[in-house]
Structure 1
Amino acid sequence: TIAAERGIPIACGHELSVALGGKEGVTANGFGKGGTIELNGARVTMVNASHSNSIDFQQGGLHPAGGEAGFMIAGEGHTIYVSGDTDIMADMEWMGDYHKPDIGILCAGGHYTMDMKRAAYAARRYFNFDTVIPCHYRTFPLLEQSADALIAGLPGVKVIEPQVMEPISF
């Protein structure tokens, strides 16, 4: 894995950390929803999401990987909400109010997650982001190929469309 090759620790749910812990060179930090760990100077809190969760170790298909989750990452003057594969959910209201993230990384490709319009609605309704970064789109034809609807739905919010293997600066 990339994590093993580069010595990067993985933060994930407990069940997945147990499965990954048996892989050579992998350091997996397992924790649960509501839990917070320190990771490279940042505080990472696991929060709720709503989606399926499995992993394919290429040994007989998909295996359950524990509860679905998103993350709040706080450090260097920012709090980043990473939605995880999810749809809009009521928990976003308290997560936005309690954690007050200024940056949102929102899965918005449609089909498996909310689409761009729903992501824009969630961002407006439950959060006060300065910056939104869409993810899980443009990777294959089934998913949305453009963030235009997200941009149109978030006037006054900076939307950064990531490019493969290109760093993002704030």
Structure 2
Amino acid sequence: MTLQLQGAKITWLGHATFKITTPSNKVILIDPWLEHNPACPAEARKFEHLDLILATHGHSDHIGDAVATAKQYKPQVIAIVELANWLSSKGVENTIGINKGGSVVIDNITISMTHALHTSGLEDGSYGGEPAGYVIELENGLKIYHAGDTMPFTDMQIIRELYAPDIAMLPIGDFFTMGPRGAALATRLLGVKHVIPMHYATFPVLRGTPAELREELGKLGLDQVEVIEMKPGQTIS
């Protein structure tokens, strides 16, 4: 089954950074790591406008450019409460601190925060709250799950029951997150039919590959799942 985005666009900027353009031309940036992201094309680091930033956790390879980008484009910024407070302390305006299980509706887009199993310490030693993921329901009803940095966990079944995402962005790199085998199990728990692999190949240690994910999905009898292998800077629509 080929993914139908129904007027939306998804651009992978490398690592765990994505730009989502909604059918009403709202632009959402997830985990803004741009200038020092070796996988992010230089031409993709600027935006005509930016409406929302979502931060999954406090590691620099996820929020390295959150402060600068937020100050430049003045979007609303969503993060777990402690991380939102930290961003606000750095001069970021329009922060919204929510917590796991909570949702906020902005411009007919529903952002729901989910659990993730990882860490979230900030480089300056501050407490960044807990890591999280997001389910983003666009104006057209399409639901996109960005898992953040995580391993598989059985409560992904709750994400399936509560939100029924259409597509999942899952880390596959291993070492700092789950690898292909874990991502295949996560796919089964979530019940999604479309997966975009992320958080791989940025550095040599992130060795998981989309081909290995397809192999592991096959072992679980999930050959029908579409693995959408993107190149940094590529847009699907």
TM-score range, shorter chain: 0.7 to 0.9
1:70-89 superposed matches below 5 A = 70-75=133-138, 76-89=140-153
Give runs of ≥4 in structure 1 deviating > 6 Å: none
- For 1:141, the aligned partner's letter is P
Deviations 1:141-166 (A, max 9, x none): 11025211112314112211222222
| Root-mean-square deviation over aligned CA pairs | 1.7
Partner of 2:32 in structure 1? none
- State the distance in 1 between where 2:183 and 2:191 align: 13
Partner of 2:116 in structure 1? 49
- Aligned to 2:122, what secondary structure does the other structure show? strand
- Aligned to 2:214, what secondary structure does the other structure show? helix
Query: Shift of residue 25 of structure 1?
Result: 4.8
Change (3 A) 1:163 1:6: farther
Partner of 2:197 in structure 1? 134
Single out whichever of 4-13 and 105-114 deviates more from structure 2. Answer: 4-13
Query: Shift of residue 135 of structure 1?
Result: 1.0
- Aligned to 1:87, what secondary structure does the other structure show? coil
Give the TM-score normalised by structure 1: 0.88
**Aligned pair partner of 2:86 in 19, 22, 29:** 19
Q: How many residues align?
A: 164
Change (3 A) 1:134 1:26: farther
- State the distance in 2 between where 1:168 and 1:3 align: 25
Query: Shift of residue 26 of structure 1?
Result: 4.0
Residues 14, 30 of structure 1: 8 Å contact kept: yes
- For 1:114, the aligned partner's letter is M
**Larger relative contact order (CA 8 Å, sep ≥ 6):** 2
1:156 aligns with 2:219: no
Unaligned runs of 5+ in 1: none
Give the TM-score normalised by structure 2: 0.64
